Amino acid sequence: MSDLAPRMADNIEMKSVEELIPYNKNARTHSAAQAALVEAWKFFNSRRKWLSIQLCQPIYEMVITEAVAKGQLKAPGFFNNELLRKAYLGAEWIGPPRGQIDQLKEVRAADLRVNMGISTLAEETAILTGGDWERKYPQILKEQNLKKEAGLIPDVNNQENLELENNNKNE
């Protein structure tokens, strides 16, 4: 039984932990750990993509198609229009997020990518938390409003007005 896992790993061409994350006891730097994590993530992500394309998406399409055919799910034009059917069956398989060595650096990098216009809040949310930004945004707004009401977040507009008043008094 103990050799079952390595045999299964061989069958799906999965590398050993030692191959994925070479560990040098003398190189315990953030950069070394990050490099090892990135290499392991590349491997796991390629397997995850294969799984979503070869298993998840086809099963999802069969389930939705059957539900529409049985009338359990309403999807007008599903069987008559190829473009509509593709739209109904479209899915993005995200999965759990990649692990992070230094969360602060990861968040700063995500912020920079969004501000540079090379990524979106939706993409970064999926990458960092595995979540859906559009689902989280209403809750974020709610929490920010509650913080403002409780005085935990200063009202920027009000603070600017106070600063202007103070500057005018000092002149």
In this prediction, residues 111-119 reach a mean pLDDT of: 96
Q: Which two tokens stand for residue 167?
A: 């500057």
Q: What is the mean pLDDT of the chain?
A: 81
Q: For 81-95, what is each residue's pLDDT tens digit?
A: 999 999 999 988 888
Q: For 119-158, what is each residue's pLDDT tens digit?
A: 999 999 988 888 889 999 999 999 999 999 998 887 666 6
Residue ranges of domains in the chain: 6-93, 97-131, 133-171
Q: pLDDT band for 1, please (50, 70, 90 cuts).
A: very low
Percent of the chain with pLDDT over 70: 73
Alpha-carbon radius of gyration of the chain: 25
Q: For 71-81, what is each residue's pLDDT tens digit?
A: 999 999 999 99
Total-model pTM: 0.55
Q: For 22-62, what is each residue's pLDDT tens digit?
A: 555 555 677 777 778 888 888 888 898 999 999 999 999 99
The pLDDT value recorded for residue 26 is 54
CB-count burial class (<10 Å; 0-12, 13-18, 19+) for 125: buried
Q: Which two tokens stand for residue 79?
A: 């069987």
Sequence-separated (6 or more) residues with CB below 8 Å from residue 135? none
